[in-house]
Structure 1
Amino acid sequence: MTTLDIMLPYYGDVALMQAAVRSILAQSDPNWRLTVVDDGQEPSVPGWFAELDDPRVSYQRNEQNLGVTGNYRKCLGLVREEHFVMMGTDDIMLPEYVATVRAAIAKHPGIGMVQPGVQVIDGAGKPAEGLVDQAKKRVYAPRVNGELLMGGEPLATSLLRGCWVYFPSICWRTEAVRKAGFRDGLEVTQDLALEIDLIQAGEQMLISETLCFQYRRHAVSISSQQAFTGRRFQEANRFFVEVADRLDAQGWTKAAKASRLHLSSRIHAATMLPGALKNRQADGARTLLRHVAGADIR
């Protein structure tokens, strides 16, 4: 029987991490294994995991901080099953998550990615949809009636127009991700980079409308902290330009055009401008303006 590896690269708020772990323990389908790789130094965390006393849960703390990408790579190296999830430590698995993705894998053997239905919540756990998430759902995401299988240039084009997936909720085929790996120098675009790499390699994505995951969006996330300085958009611009060149070389001209335009990213930058000005981030505001205008920031 297929067991799902759930990888939890941890750094941050202890209470939110504990809520994430409890949501895994509450799964209706018991066929999962949780591996927590702690990249922080909170003193209470090791003892809390020891008290769980569940053989499906393993915990280890890094001797030195590896950073986001380094910890992702370590987690990937610890995966033992054919499919895994790289869950966020502030997100929540609803009780049917494991059952939903395992059923999808059984129905579509060899699938590279499974994106189930996701609800966005705020820091307090209440449903919350800002402009970005409304655009994801209403403008960029494909229409799904039950489930939808996508791949190739149509999927790449769709994601580059507006990245409507939620990385921590995706179930991945281990072998495919190990072949692609995580790219150096990326943080906030690491998820989209991996998805495009897999699509270019021929992997497909199954999109299910079954709601079974809660993605937490709040002001203390890495991406939000960097947004007012413009750092995330500097990274995004470099990524979109590089990907466009690769897609052109593959003959995927429609996807390349979407990458060069990266309209949703530019709109997102525009929404961050008031915050940058309010926080007196003058350099950040200038960077945001250049991104909105489509300037090449390299």
Structure 2
Amino acid sequence: MKLSVIMPVFNAERYLREAIDSIINQSYTDWELIIINDGSIDCSENIIKSYTDTRLRYYKNEQNIGLIQTLNKGIDLCKGAYIARMDADDIAEKDRFGIQIAFLENNKEYALCGSDAKVIDENNIETGKILNLQSNEYLQINLLFSVPFIHPTILIRSEVLKDNYFDTEYKHAEDYELWCRIANSHKVANIGNFLLRYRWHSSNVSVTNSEKQEEIKNRIICRELKNIDLQPSEKELYLHKVTFQQFDSKFSIKKETFDDYSELDSWFQKIINANRNLQKYNEAALISFLWSRWIVLCISQKRYRKILKPQFSSYKLPILSRTFKLLLFLRKKA
């Protein structure tokens, strides 16, 4: 068995059949689909039991135990060399598993890979696209600010996931915490293909638990900053997140007035200096990453004269080139 797919199910009758069918119809066929019913009270179980494909393995929790414990139970049940995540309301593109497994087979030093995704609504109408950075060096830096992976696009080496598991202390941002933990000791990547149709609707965890999720994300960010010997004040944490809050969300872009450029400049310089001491991140990549976000913030605020003024910026050709490429990516992402 090469691949195990974990699909938790909780009252997912509306979209479940499409999700399961998208796995059955994969061009890559050496897989098992582990479906765990976490106390559904709708027709989800009847839908699951209507399938006769022997590659489907069905389990039912005696009571609702929540997503994290259900995922960890699924990890223990997996027999494959690789583990893929799949939600019960999304649709995997036909070549998803073949492309992702080929990447990990050809890049043994990588622990996991995600992909880009097309966003769909309740009626399967495409409403947008999610593009993420692809290279390990930028993903490592991105994790210092926010999660650069779409959870249900992840395919990971089984031995890596079985050495880690999801942490119940980080409910609503358990994926972000896990990817940070794994990326601290392994290479990670995103594949620049749209391998999932990601359903965005009013029942998404990111919608229903946004306030709690933000609190947990703050804990993770502070933990990652501590890895480079930084402990941000409340104001510095706000500054740290502001460029992502201005530009990062595909669904509710925030354009709040911002005028703390000098303080943001100083904070970014702190990050660069701290990293210079520990050498955790590639310095050229870090400066380019921060500068590209600074530029986007200035543009969003129509403060064009500040674009070239931060003290942390560099006009060395490699950094200029990297920054320009990141800006092209961010423009495409928008």
Shared fold, TM over 0.5: yes
Partner Cα separation in structure 2 for residue 259 and residue 75 of structure 1: 36
1:173 aligns with 2:157: yes
Residue among 242, 248, 257 paired with 2:228: 248
Residue among 216, 220, 223 paired with 1:239: 220
Q: How does 1:12-161 map to 2 (within 5 A)?
A: 12-42=11-41, 44-129=43-128, 137=131, 141-142=132-133, 149-151=135-137, 154-161=138-145
Partner Cα separation in structure 2 for residue 265 and residue 12 of structure 1: 33
Partner Cα separation in structure 2 for residue 263 and residue 163 of structure 1: 15
**What amino acid maps onto 1:167 in structure 2?**
H
Q: Secondary structure at the match of 1:42?
A: coil
Partner Cα separation in structure 1 for residue 169 and residue 243 of structure 2: 22
Over the matched positions of the two proteins, sequence identity in percent amounts to 18
Shift of 1:271: 4.8
**What amino acid maps onto 1:262 in structure 2?**
K
Residue among 216, 240, 261 paired with 2:199: 216
**Is the CA contact (8 Å cut-off) linking 1:81 and 1:174 kept in structure 2?**
yes
Change beyond 3 A, Cα 1:43–1:12: closer
Deviations for 1:230-260, whole angstroms, at most 9, x for unmatched residues? 2222222222222322x225x9x9xxx9998
Residue among 148, 153, 164 paired with 1:164: 148
**What amino acid maps onto 1:263 in structure 2?**
V
Shift of 1:107: 1.4
Change beyond 3 A, Cα 1:264–1:164: farther
The structure that has the greater radius of gyration is 2
Partner Cα separation in structure 2 for residue 94 and residue 159 of structure 1: 26
Higher RCO (CA < 8 A, seq sep 6+): 1
**What amino acid maps onto 2:26 in structure 1?**
Q
The alignment of Structure 1 onto Structure 2 pairs a total of residues equal to 249
**What amino acid maps onto 2:155 in structure 1?**
C
* Unaligned residue ranges in structure 2 (runs of 5+): 255-334
Q: Secondary structure at the match of 1:23?
A: helix
**Is the CA contact (8 Å cut-off) linking 1:162 and 1:263 kept in structure 2?**
no
* Unaligned residue ranges in structure 1 (runs of 5+): 143-147, 274-298
Change beyond 3 A, Cα 1:210–1:264: same
Deviations for 1:67-124, whole angstroms, at most 9, x for unmatched residues? 1211111111111112111211111101111211122122123521112332122222
Change beyond 3 A, Cα 1:149–1:34: same
Partner Cα separation in structure 2 for residue 110 and residue 5 of structure 1: 20
**Is the CA contact (8 Å cut-off) linking 1:167 and 1:191 kept in structure 2?**
yes
- TM-score w.r.t. structure 2 length? 0.67
1:226 aligns with 2:209: yes
Q: Secondary structure at the match of 2:62?
A: coil
User: What is the alpha-carbon root mean square deviation over aligned residues?
Assistant: 2.9
- TM-score w.r.t. structure 1 length? 0.74
Partner of 1:261: 240
Change beyond 3 A, Cα 1:119–1:258: farther
Deviations for 1:241-291, whole angstroms, at most 9, x for unmatched residues? 22322x225x9x9xxx99981335644799599xxxxxxxxxxxxxxxxxx
